[in-house]
């Protein structure tokens, strides 16, 4: 019996990085987890790992930029487990580093539609399911780069800022209906996205570590445990909150 026993969580990007670690921690703490993502093999491997440890999970393939795909994901979650209590929006895209003038329209649109429309689609289809069961909790995964400007990431920074505002709006809209909506703003976390973005070299990691007063980059379990707390009843009076998980990288 864990603190999430009997509860159902959808984790987008649950087959990689922060989302995958969140899926592992939720399952270990009793939740039935719907691991949602694009990559089937990684999704099946994540579910197998959860099941090997006695947890319960299914994988559903989704493209969060497509509202019909997200609607189908939520339907499959309800068909499998009867309800949805938690949503973690961890799927996201960073795109290539390019200044405002040099960013291509295609890259810009991909990042914005993934991060903003994707998170919005998931909230749009999950919140009605939460209302049916008297409430729930949502955690969106934004970034410190959604609060602090970072050159070369115009689409990423503005879309993560947009995710923060999506969070705050929904938090106000559903506060009285017992749905809490919070957002984490991670600094650099050692995931496939970070490795791709930074190039994965020790020099790049050392450079990114300089942004974090703690003196290192973060690990996926350190982001996941913040997400779990925000989902948990321990955070019952916390909604609309932007939580930095960034080793002291100052977020105004
Ligand atoms: N790693 C970091 O340093 C860092 C820092 C700040 C914020 N974040 C955010 O954390 C979240 C998780 O990223 P991560 O670092 O674990 O990287 P990751 O690459 O391991 O995970 C991101 C996942 O999102 C999935 N995804 C992308 N577009 C999708 C789509 N259209 N439909 C479904 N899935 C899609 C990818 O396939 C991947 O599995 C992202 O939103 C990212 O922006 C990461």
Residues identified as active-site: 156
| Position 124 in a domain | yes
| Position 252 in a domain | no
| Position 185 in a domain | yes
Name beta bridge partners: 58. Answer: 34
**pLDDT tens string 83-103:** 999 999 999 999 999 999 999
Do 121 and 163 form a contact (C-beta atoms < 8 A)?
A: no
- Specify the pLDDT at position 250: 84
| Position 22 in a domain | yes
Q: Which atom, in ligand 1's list, is nearest to the CA of 145?
A: 6
Look at residue 236 and give its three-state secondary structure.
coil
Pocket of ligand 1 (CB under 6 A): 13, 15-19, 37-39, 62-65, 90-94, 114, 118, 141, 143, 186, 188-189, 191-194
Task: Find, among 183, 224, 208, 198, the residue nearest to 27 by Cα.
Answer: 224
| Position 1 in a domain | no
Per-residue pLDDT, averaged over 30-40, amounts to 98
Tell me how far the alpha carbon of residue 185 lies from the centroid of ligand 1, in angstroms.
Answer: 13
Cβ burial, residue 72 (10 Å; 0-12/13-18/19+): middle
Tell me how far the alpha carbon of residue 87 lies from the centroid of ligand 1, in angstroms.
Answer: 15
Per-residue pLDDT, averaged over 219-245, amounts to 98
Owning domain of residue 16: 8-245
Looking up residue 94, the CATH number of its domain turns out to be 3.40.50.720
Per-residue pLDDT, averaged over 135-161, amounts to 98
pTM of the model: 0.98
Domains: count for the chain: 1
What lies within 8 Å, CB to CB, of 159 at 6+ separation is 111, 112, 114, 115, 116, 146
Task: Find, among 20, 17, 30, 165, the residue nearest to 93 by Cα.
Answer: 17
Q: Which atom, in ligand 1's list, is nearest to the CA of 196?
A: 19
């Amino acid at each position: 019996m864990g603190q999430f026993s009997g509860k159902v969580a959808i984790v987008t990007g649950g087959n990689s990085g922060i989302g995958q670690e969140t899926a592992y921690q939720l399952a270990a703490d009793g939740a039935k987890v719907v691991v949602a993502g694009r990559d089937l093999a990684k999704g099946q491997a994540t579910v197998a790992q959860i099941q090997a440890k006695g947890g319960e999970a299914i994988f559903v393939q989704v493209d969060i930029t497509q509202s019909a795909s997200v609607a189908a994901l939520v339907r499959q979650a309800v068909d499998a487990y009867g309800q949805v209590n938690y949503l973690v929006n961890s799927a996201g895209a960073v795109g290539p580093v390019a200044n405002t003038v040099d960013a291509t329209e295609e890259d810009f649109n991909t990042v914005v539609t993934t991060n903003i429309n994707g998170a919005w689609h998931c909230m749009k289809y999950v919140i009605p399911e939460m209302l049916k069961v008297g409430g729930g909790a949502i955690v969106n995964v934004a970034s410190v780069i959604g609060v602090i400007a970072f050159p070369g990431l115009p689409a990423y920074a503005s879309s993560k800022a947009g995710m923060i505002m999506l969070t705050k709006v929904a938090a106000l809209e559903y506060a009285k209906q017992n749905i809490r909506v919070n957002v984490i703003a991670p600094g650099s976390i050692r995931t496939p996205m970070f490795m791709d973005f930074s190039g994965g070299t020790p020099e790049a990691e050392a450079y990114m570590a300089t942004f974090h007063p703690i003196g290192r980059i973060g690990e996926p379990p350190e982001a996941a445990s913040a997400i779990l707390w925000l989902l948990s009843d321990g955070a019952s009076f916390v909604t609309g909150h932007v939580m930095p998980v960034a080793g002291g990288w100052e977020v105004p």
